[in-house]
Amino acid sequence: MDVKIFPARLSGAVNAIPSKSQAHRALICAALADKPTRVECNGESDDILATAACLSALGAGIERESGAYVVRPLNRGREGSGGIATLPCGESGSTFRFILPIVGALGRKASFTPKGRLPERPLSPLYEELVSHGAELSPQGSVPFYAGGRLTPGRYTLDAGVSSQFISGLLFALPLLDGDSELTLTGTAESFPYIELTVAMLKEFGVKADFDGGVFSIPGGQTYRSSGVARVEGDWSNAAFWLGAGAIGPGSVTCAALDLKSKQGDRAILELLAKFGANVKMDGSSVTVSGGKLRGIEINAKDIPDLVPMLAVIAATAEGTTVIRNAGRLRTKESDRLASVSALLRALGANTDETDDGLVLRGGAVFSGGEVLSYGDHRIAMSAAVAATVCAEPVVIHGAEAVNKSYPGFFDDLRLLGGTVQFSSL
């Protein structure tokens, strides 16, 4: 699908969509719990639906009600139809990497069906740890990807600099084993706030995973205990697009339904926008951003990789040079995001260079307009749309349907803020 975005003065207010990261975690914990849970989540996306579909295939009952998912726990002793559950994880890395260790902990047989670039994304060192503890897995990159065997408790070790999703997957699975386990993290942790989100959700369901000196101590034989309700807060990752729009445009943009004390790492967008020179005001659960004299800054993206595409758009319009570092993991996302962000910005007239693990953006660009690709990446498509509103001419985004991965209503909210959007299936 092609979408044509016209220059516009964005202003007004939108509500943040539910956090995809929290929704994955809440649905998983609810499916493993001792009784049904109402997961309050006023929205859905392809990734959230992928997690719900995989949990359903494993035996959980998940029904969509107004503003919520009602989750009946899966029966840990029951195998799926035919003995092998087919798990449609789609392009969701979180779904695949979270549920894979859980399948092993349950002793189930499953066939995952990853799509897009997901089969190419690394599974090591999680893969080797699972195999060494009893899992039977297809070769990496296989489609479908078979998982069987049963995980054994004990000592697990992961390089924390590869993917926080590997760590979260084990944190969900190890409490289900019949003995105690330790998970030792080596190296420098990447995206640690996402691990903290997992630990917080486990705690909400009564599961212990104590962290000290780089080691998680995880008692076995634990029971996920539901209070009956789990709430999914607003998503800072996607709110960043609207807050960034306020920073680079002539209008003032408010994003509501946000938790200003959230553990989501991408709440750092507030500090970064202020550092760029934007005007940032917080009131209750709302944040309002308007432009200022933007200037280039230094950004360490180690814990906030999902913010990089929008931060790069902001940096391209700011005066001076912005350097983004520690973002090498973006090369294995839905696209090589360092390459795709650079291509997007250069197509619009910006001056940007890639480094091995980041970007150098020489600001002061006046975006021209034209045609750009989404590269099948939701965050590239949304960044392009926000950039288009401050271009001299309209921008056509090819493959704009990529937004459905995390934010199906993105273009509706763009219109709500005053954007002009034309759709074409050609």
Catalytic residue ranges? 306
CB distance 52 to 27 below 8 Å: yes
CB distance 35 to 205 below 8 Å: no
Supply 318's token pair.
């700011």
Give the Cβ contact number of residue 420 at 10 Å: 14
Q: Partners of 52 in the beta sheet?
A: none
Supply the DSSP string of 118-138, one letter for each residue. Answer: GGGS--TTHHHHHHHTTEEEP
Residues in the chain: 426
Supply 353's token pair.
């260079």
Residue type, 151: L
* Cα angle, residue 159 at apex, residues 156 and 160 outer, rounded to 5°: 105
3-state secondary structure of 279: strand
In degrees rounded to 5, what are phi and psi of residue 407?
Answer: -150, 70
CB distance 266 to 308 below 8 Å: no
* Beta-carbon-side half-sphere exposure of residue 300 (alpha carbons within 13 Å): 5
Q: Maximum distance among all alpha carbons in the chain?
A: 63
What span, in angstroms and rounded, lies between the C-alpha atoms of 330 and 106?
A: 32
